[in-house]
Structure 1
Amino acid sequence: MSDHCPLLLVQDLVTRSPPRFRFESFWPLLEGYSDVVRSSWNEQCSLTNGFAILDYKLKRVAKHLKSWAKNDVGDIRKQLLVGQEIILRFDSAQETRQLTVDERELRTTLKSRVVGLAVLNRIKARQRARIQWLRLGDANTKFFHMRAANRKVKNRIHALQSAEGIATSPAEIEEAIFIHMNNIIGTNVPCLGRFDWNKLNLPKPNLSDLDSPFSEEEVRKAIFDSATDKAPGPDGFSITFFRTAWGVIKQDMLTVVNKFFDLNDPSFHCLNTALFVLLPKNDQPTHATHYRPNQPDPFLCQVDVQDNGK
């Protein structure tokens, strides 16, 4: 017999960053969610600027929700598996003996709890799969997990061709994308034509209401008309949070929205952030130009407008 054992060497160059906060769509369905949001949001805040207050309260609510989900909610999938295992053992024991009253009550309680946990698990898996056209109960979680795993593999950039060569490490790929996007974003492209709006005979609307403050109903309608499960921003909150917590956060939201009229605010940078997402334009992207936003084609920016307005 040989005393040699195989040795597997793996060179993992992917940097592990700490997980960002992500609002879970099933949290509003659980008991205690509203209390956590209300108590953390209404805590005393020493700030006076509307933008800074909203940014501070969102971070504080995210911290409290994350702690509540860890301590009170727990692992949904693990609870589901434990509940199914206990029910299976009760069913196996019932074939040889009669269950006691306490055992029957526990089995009934576990069955109803397992059904609820299965629904929450499907909501969680559907949120990660980013499937909008499928309802919650129309499929099991295996399909959602397959879609989420496929998205994770597809969205990862393994290598990228740049002017300096082939970038393979995360730092090299980040530098190549930054150089490319920095060169094209904000580039002025000359336009050869101009529209003569007077010859289009368009009606002139009354724009006097544009300087009026936003009402609570307008802000509420804008939030409730938005999609709930779209990709969250840098703060991790989706539209589901703003819908479910509207009764608590509406006054601060209205203050911030109306403060947009003051464009010279030093705290506007607290909310004026966004995630830069690269969208591949083909199935096998290899260059930085294969991702959107790409460098605009000068030919598409040349508009030849005749005097007749066509």
Structure 2
Amino acid sequence: MAANERVGGNVPSSEMKPFRDCVADCGILDIAATGALYTWNNKQQPEERIYSRLDMVLVNKDWCDHLQDLYAHFLPEGMYVHTPCIVSSNKQVQVKRCFKYFNIWGGSKDFISTLRSTWQSKVVGTPMFKLVKKLKMLKPALRQLNREKFSDIEHAADVKQKQIEDLQGQLGRDPSDMQKRAAESEATAQLKELAAARDSFLAQKAKHKWVQDGDSNSAFFHGLLKQRKHGNKVFRIEDTHGRAWDTPDQIQDAFLDYYKGLLGSSQAIGKIHRRIIEQGPKCSPEDCVALMRPISGKEVKDALFSIPDIKSPGPDGFTSKFFKDAWGEVWEK
């Protein structure tokens, strides 16, 4: 499927394209997989060995809809050239969904008023504390805005499309009906807004920059959303001792143990010798002055506005697009 799924030998991209096109045309997707990455090798001498990911489990939209907790696990190939594959189920525990700012919210007529109602609240503390506190206070208000305006944006666009088709059918029978003409024009304008909001919402969820107008209604596009959500789950993991774990609690403990190990244990740090530091590269006096120079508001704004809107949010769930949408309200307030 891709050049990075092969080690050794060369396969022209033109030879992979027909299969990729076939998969896209059929609307099938590769489910989450664990275990061996390369599922085939030619068993030749070490210097002539070729590894490739030839085996995968491809499923259609119905599979994604009804069997979301299944994943493929590829075992070592042993004496065979292909790796055996086991399709397993791992029921995930439902956890509270984290807050995430959706870019479509900034286009709502009520966004600024919702923002102001929270941002004008009096909070006492350091500037960073006030910022973090207000962002936390803003989350319930934005969730409420989402429920009122965007809770079912895809369905709303479909309903509006059907309304337009009905009006156009009536106008086809009686083109002189001015009331129907006005209603059709108004519904068309509303559909454009809904369609733009829907496409923005789905593109952000899929995190695909190549999403174009019209892609969002295809079964393949919705399959991509499910594949991304499915791929973000961890079904199986090996700890630092090579032991495999597949229950949610075991997976969580394996992650915690690994990162605790990275942090290390507390140790006394020896004296830092200035003579050794002097031997390495150092900042010049001019560089030191530049590093201590106050950062201007223009530099902050330029850096923030250079971040693409579709980039992942920070730990608090707010994307760069939020600060762009709210810049006039939150800057220096």
Q: What count of residue pairs does the alignment treat as equivalent?
A: 238
Which letter maps to 2:247?
S
Which letter maps to 2:121?
E
Query: 2-side partners of 1:171 and 1:224: how far apart?
Result: 40
Query: 1-side partners of 2:257 and 2:234: how far apart?
Result: 16
Match of 1:84 among 161, 181, 190: 161
SS of 2:121's equivalent in the other structure is coil
Query: 1-side partners of 2:171 and 2:298: how far apart?
Result: 58
Deviations 1:192-234 (A, max 9, x none): xx99875879966431243343322222222122232211122
Match of 1:211 among 288, 292, 295: 292
Whether contact under 8 Å (1:25, 1:124) holds in the other structure is yes
Query: For residue 275 of structure 1, what is the aligned residue in structure 2?
Result: none
Query: For residue 226 of structure 2, what is the aligned residue in structure 1?
Result: 149
Task: Name the % identity.
Answer: 21
- 1:270-309 to structure 2, matched below 5 A, reads none
SS of 1:26's equivalent in the other structure is helix
Distance change (3 Å), C-alpha of 1:159 and 1:220 = same
Q: How far did 1:130 drift?
A: 0.9
Q: How far did 1:123 drift?
A: 0.8
Whether contact under 8 Å (1:24, 1:124) holds in the other structure is yes
TM-score by length of 2: 0.62
Whether contact under 8 Å (2:236, 2:245) holds in the other structure is yes
Structure 2 spans left out of the alignment, 5+ residues: 1-65, 70-88, 268-274
Query: 2-side partners of 1:135 and 1:224: how far apart?
Result: 21
SS of 2:287's equivalent in the other structure is coil
SS of 2:332's equivalent in the other structure is helix
Query: For residue 170 of structure 1, what is the aligned residue in structure 2?
Result: 248
- 1:58-207 to structure 2, matched below 5 A, reads 58-96=135-173, 100-132=177-209, 134=210, 136-137=212-213, 139-142=215-218, 144-162=221-239, 163=241, 165-186=243-264, 205-207=286-288
Query: For residue 99 of structure 2, what is the aligned residue in structure 1?
Result: 21
Distance change (3 Å), C-alpha of 1:113 and 1:124 = same
Q: Does 1:245 align with 2:322?
A: no
SS of 2:330's equivalent in the other structure is helix
SS of 2:103's equivalent in the other structure is coil
Query: 1-side partners of 2:232 and 2:290: how far apart?
Result: 44
Q: How far did 1:124 drift?
A: 0.7
Query: 1-side partners of 2:249 and 2:201: how far apart?
Result: 32
Q: How far did 1:98 drift?
A: 5.7
Query: 2-side partners of 1:199 and 1:23: how far apart?
Result: 44
Query: 1-side partners of 2:300 and 2:158: how far apart?
Result: 42
Whether contact under 8 Å (1:228, 1:240) holds in the other structure is yes
- 1:247-266 to structure 2, matched below 5 A, reads 247-251=328-332
Whether contact under 8 Å (2:168, 2:184) holds in the other structure is no
Q: How far did 1:161 drift?
A: 3.2
Higher strand share: 2
Q: Which moved more, 1:21-30 or 1:70-79?
A: 70-79
Q: Does 1:35 align with 2:113?
A: yes
SS of 2:91's equivalent in the other structure is coil
Q: How far did 1:56 drift?
A: 1.1
Distance change (3 Å), C-alpha of 1:81 and 1:164 = same
Query: For residue 45 of structure 2, what is the aligned residue in structure 1?
Result: none
Which letter maps to 1:43?
S
Q: How far did 1:73 drift?
A: 4.2
Whether contact under 8 Å (1:21, 1:62) holds in the other structure is yes
Larger RCO, structures 1/2 (Cα 8 Å, 6+ apart):
1
Distance change (3 Å), C-alpha of 1:236 and 1:141 = farther
